[in-house]
Structure 1
Amino acid sequence: MRFWGFAIISGLMAIAAQAQPAPPATPDPLLTPYVKPGILARLPDGRRIHLKCMGSGSPTVIMTAGLGDWAQTWRNIQPAIVKDSRVRACAWDRAGFGFSDGSTIEQGVDTTTSDLEAALKSAGIKGPYILVGHSMGGYETLLFKDRHPQEVIGMVLVDPSIPHQEARQKKAAPALPAFADEIYAGMRKKARDCAAAVASGKLTPTSPDPDNCLAYPPTYPRALSQALKTRDMSQARWAATISLTANFSRSTELVANPARDYGAMPLIVLSAEKMQQLPPGTPQAVFDQIPAFQLDLAQAHRELAALSLRGENRRVADSAHYIQDERPDLVIAAIKDVIAAARKTAR
């Protein structure tokens, strides 16, 4: 499946979304704004990075999806934020995902953050910014703040991945990253096979697709699936997505910064407490080590909240990794709280 729906619950749950019961085969009306691209910001090298922006006002909310996801992951959040908050909210797609072009450049969180910077500059989308990141999207959020400390005035991290993630997992629960590595390797092999089928002409937007290379969730409107299939005929799209997954371990170290200090910047970290369902065949050792994994992840989220004197870690007991889907009200509330606090500080 082209969009694997990685639930990178801190690097393990790459297949968790696939383990869930299949969603009803009915197009989701909340996806309507995401059927067509918004701004296709042209970068200096000619590539285009997609930004879907809604609303107007200040500050500007920049929303970053998790690994394997794209702008539509904010469909429950983005329209609600701009409805009565007098802000502009822009969700963007990494190279190779959503409506963004692919890239043959090696992909890591340093590269994707640079793409975001270049896209915002090209599109003329100026700060001050409130940054919102889910899962691995927390990495670009942290790095962007490091690079633009004065322009970022608030932050919400939604069940974020953490610095030194794989190293911490190997220490606290070594069965988990080992299992995830196997899953990722299988996904990359399938992606390479699908890319080869596209290159050979055996796979086209209208050809049979027995390996589900171009399969999309049944909640996607037909027009959206067709648009994405057409884009996925690009070899650079496949190359970018494979590279980003392969470099996830490197990204967990690139984001580490012991000097990070946010002063009194408004910051909320939302932490999911409900365990994501794992698929049949998951090794028993993985289940046995999940409590240790959860304890360390909770500690890491407290450490992220402590980056600011005004940082909060809000625990979400009744949601798994995709809080924006299961408890969108809490994500919306957190973003609005940070917007209000940032505006009060500015005044």
Structure 2
Amino acid sequence: MRIKKGERPVVFLPGAGLVGLDYYNLHERLETGSVIYDRAGTGWGAPATLPRSAADVVGELRSLLAAEGVAGPYVLAGHSLGAFYARRYAQLHPGEVAGLLLLDPGHEDIFDFMPEGAAELNERMKPDLAQLPELTGEQVAAARKGWGEALAPLPEDVREQLVDYHVTRWRVAVEETLNFESEVYGELRAGGPLPDVPLMVLTAKGRNPYWAQFMTEEQMKQAHDGIHAMHAAMVASVSRGEHRELDGASHQFMHLEHEDAVLAAIRDLVGALP
């Protein structure tokens, strides 16, 4: 866990397969307090069997913050999978959350916003972890190059650590999401509404290359439209919500590709707090 002391601490909850250092660029530039950390079972965190329930992740984060003396209420910045955990934290401990920033979040009712047949297509898109072979030397080289380019905005020492991690621990991204439908979605549905705190949702509007392997152009357009509508609905569910779109941003690397826009959203959110 890396901590920058200050008021209104912003706590980053990484997306699936990502770790605290992936958000080093935001952590370093924020004027407020900031916390980046690795969930157990990921990065340099404690060993743990994946996947885990959202409540377990929330309990772990809450304990870590208390042990490090980071006092709330917090602004929780959850990216993708991390957005589920941020919302679950807000459900379980509403008095400890000052605001929420959700970076291209999923939602337990996502298929209500998707085109017909999306649920069946989702099943076909799921990788079978047991059947995924180890990477070949050529694939490792390609992965190192891709990660190096994606993480180019980070300092060299940080980037090198992350490239090594992501190339060797790539299965974590799949492992963390294995219980979406079976557990996490149900936790959020049963958890009740979010507390009445400022909420900012950022939508990545770039083309999804993974979807392109399974969807036609028309299906991808409908899916992107559905994600936009879902995010708009999430914002409309609270009294102090705002929805922003990042043109050309990818889902996984929006915080690196559009660093200034994400920082502006955080600053605006913090600035709106009472």
Q: TM-score, normalised by structure 2?
A: 0.80
CA contact (8 A) 2:17 2:176 kept: no
Name 2:268's counterpart in structure 1.
337
1:49-60 matches, within 5 Å, as 51-54=1-4, 56-60=5-9
Q: Distance in 2 between matches of 1:61 and 1:252?
A: 25
Are positions 1:319 and 2:249 aligned together?
yes
Counterparts in 2 of 1:123 and 1:258: CA distance versus 1, 3 Å:
closer
Name 1:177's counterpart in structure 2.
122
Cα drift, residue 160 of structure 1: 1.0
Residue type of the alignment partner of 2:2: K
Q: Distance in 2 between matches of 1:61 and 1:306?
A: 23
Q: What is the percentage of aligned positions where both structures have the same residue? A: 22
Deviation per CA, 1:235-279: give whole Å up to 9, x if none. Answer: xx97x766423213232332225731433x221111122222348
Name 1:65's counterpart in structure 2.
14
CA contact (8 A) 1:109 1:140 kept: yes
Cα drift, residue 225 of structure 1: 6.0
Q: Distance in 2 between matches of 1:288 and 1:268?
A: 28
Q: TM-score, normalised by structure 1?
A: 0.65
Are positions 1:143 and 2:76 aligned together?
no
Residue type of the alignment partner of 1:141: A
Q: Distance in 2 between matches of 1:124 and 1:302?
A: 35
Cα drift, residue 115 of structure 1: 1.8
Cα drift, residue 91 of structure 1: 1.3
Q: Distance in 2 between matches of 1:315 and 1:102?
A: 36
Instruction: From the two aligned structures, give the one with the greater helix fraction.
Output: 2
Are positions 1:254 and 2:187 aligned together?
yes
Are positions 1:267 and 2:199 aligned together?
yes
CA contact (8 A) 1:158 1:270 kept: yes
Deviating runs (4+, > 6 A) in structure 1?
Answer: 208-211
Deviation per CA, 1:203-261: give whole Å up to 9, x if none. Answer: xxxxx978749x753457486269859x97xxxx97x7664232132323322257314
Q: Which has the larger radius of gyration?
A: 1
Secondary structure at the aligned position of 2:77 is classed as strand
CA contact (8 A) 1:165 1:252 kept: no
Q: Distance in 2 between matches of 1:211 and 1:318?
A: 26
State the aligned residue count: 261
Name 1:78's counterpart in structure 2.
27
CA contact (8 A) 1:169 1:176 kept: no
Counterparts in 2 of 1:136 and 1:226: CA distance versus 1, 3 Å:
closer
Counterparts in 2 of 1:267 and 1:242: CA distance versus 1, 3 Å:
closer
Gap runs ≥5 in structure 2: none
Deviation per CA, 1:71-92: give whole Å up to 9, x if none. Answer: 12213311111xxx3x210012
Q: CA RMSD in A?
A: 3.2
CA contact (8 A) 2:111 2:118 kept: no
Are positions 1:153 and 2:104 aligned together?
no
1:163 corresponds, among 108, 112, 122, to 108
Compare 137-146 and 304-313 and name the one that shifted more.
304-313
1:295 corresponds, among 216, 225, 241, to 225
Residue type of the alignment partner of 1:336: R
Deviation per CA, 1:119-149: give whole Å up to 9, x if none. Answer: 2222222201011011111001100111111
Gap runs ≥5 in structure 1: 1-50, 195-207
CA contact (8 A) 2:206 2:247 kept: yes
Q: Distance in 1 between matches of 2:9 and 2:15?
A: 20
Secondary structure at the aligned position of 1:155 is classed as strand
2:34 corresponds, among 86, 89, 94, to 89
Cα drift, residue 302 of structure 1: 1.1
